[in-house]
Amino acid sequence: MSQSATAQAAPQSVDSSPGERVASTAPESAQSSHPKLTAFESVARLCGFFVILVALIFLTNAMITSGLRRIRTSEVGALNQVMQGKVNAQIVITGSSRALAHFDPRLLEQATGYTAYNIGRNGSQTDMQVAFLRAYLEHNQKPKIVIHSLDAFSFVTSREVFEQVQYTPYLSDPALYSALWKVNPDIWKSRDLPLYGYVVEDMNFAWTQGVRGFFGWSPRQDFFLGFNPRSKEWSEDFERFRELRPHGVEFAIEKAGIQDVEDLITLCRQNGIQLIFVYSPEYREVQKITTNRDAIFSEFRELSAQYQVPFWDYSDWSHAGDRSYFQNSQHLNARGAEAFSNDLAGQLRSYISSSEARSDAGQSAARPTLPFAQKGSN
């Protein structure tokens, strides 16, 4: 073969190399398989992701709220009964945890023939108690009688909202929201920001109850017509409390707190409801270390006389010195609540009978006074 023929063949062998053909065509193939996104397309995808995320947040919030509202038992169930207008009792008990644990509506019903319900709230002051009664009246028929449980701290205004998450499903209620806002101006976040009230403000993971409630779960029933009996027996908390306060304890009498009680009186008068003040039993020894107890009770009696509201004081209750009736110095256990509620039921039955007799005789019963002196009354 000639040199010129060899020279002409050499380039052809180089051109036909498979490796070089792949290398030369790879960038073109890659560009055709993965086209570059435009700026608009990238932003659209990012916005779509956030839209889906926000939708999931709103849906989760709605599911938890709906689930909590579906619960029929225990504390959440009792609140739902009130806010959904399913109570409509003739006798309503209001107050703090002492009201919640001391007044058994079942025994009041048996004695009087009136339907009864307990709307006492754990960790609440009078301002929150009045707000919850307003919410009750918005959603239920007006009761004939409101029994308001007084405490040594009745004239102390709220500093915080106790277990705020329990109210989150009903923050659209104007009366309830207004009262909560006065105590915590940031409450709007729980109302307007989805999941905020269930995640940021909830330390007890109530949202898990909401999720389970959405699928039909309800906790064990431990509330009976709103009443929550306590099974605990006496603890040593009182002794420790007394040791830490050798000079006693004083409860503030705030002007705003007095106004809160007057707001309760006004609310009942405007709705034609008979209001009765009751100071339920407390352990006798705690009375000795409350340094301004006389001043507090003087305010109770002054309000009672000024507004003609019966005041039934059970400070000298027959079992006030018996620890077997108490779980601590301020709260009766289930045995104590039964004994006290029976005593109260008897007094209430006599009161109602006398008031009805006076009404039948043609006298106004809009604001009846106590018909005769009875044990435990002032």
Instruction: Please tell me the class of the 47-360 domain.
Output: alpha beta
Helix (H, G, I), strand (E, B) or coil at 312: strand
At 34 the pLDDT is: 61
Tell me the C-alpha to C-alpha distance, in Å, between residue 261 and each of 68, 127, 175: 31, 8, 17
Whose CA is closest to 167, among 134, 198, 204?
198
Which H/E stretch holds residue 277?
strand 274-279
At 376 the pLDDT is: 42
At 218 the pLDDT is: 93
CA distance 312 to 113: 21
Q: To the nearest 10°, report the CA torsion of 201, 252, 286, 123.
A: -20
**Tokens encoding 44:** 């659209």
Tell me the C-alpha to C-alpha distance, in Å, between residue 324 and each of 103, 319, 335: 18, 9, 8
At 377 the pLDDT is: 42
Residue 287 burial (C-beta neighbours within 10 Å; 0-12, 13-18, 19+): middle
CA distance 212 to 67: 7
For residue 187, list its beta bridge partners.
Answer: none
For residue 91, list its beta bridge partners.
Answer: 116, 145
CA distance 65 to 141: 25
**Tokens encoding 175:** 């009366």
Beta strands in the chain (DSSP E): 91-94, 116-118, 145-149, 274-279, 311-313
Q: Do 75 and 58 form a contact (C-beta atoms < 8 A)?
A: no
At 176 the pLDDT is: 87
Which segments of the chain have a pLDDT < 50? 2, 6-7, 9-10, 13-14, 22-24, 30, 364-365, 370-378
CA distance 267 to 347: 24
SS3 of 40-66: HHHHHHHHHHHHHHHHHHHHHHHHHHH
Which H/E stretch holds residue 279?
strand 274-279
Helix (H, G, I), strand (E, B) or coil at 323: helix
Q: What is the pLDDT of residues 89-117, one digit of tens each?
A: 999 999 999 999 999 999 999 999 999 99
CA distance 119 to 96: 9
At 155 the pLDDT is: 97
Helix (H, G, I), strand (E, B) or coil at 114: coil
- The distance from CA 311 to its chain's CA centroid, rounded to whole angstroms, is 27
Domain ranges of the chain: 47-360
Whose CA is closest to 354, among 125, 92, 363?
363
At 373 the pLDDT is: 35
At 35 the pLDDT is: 67
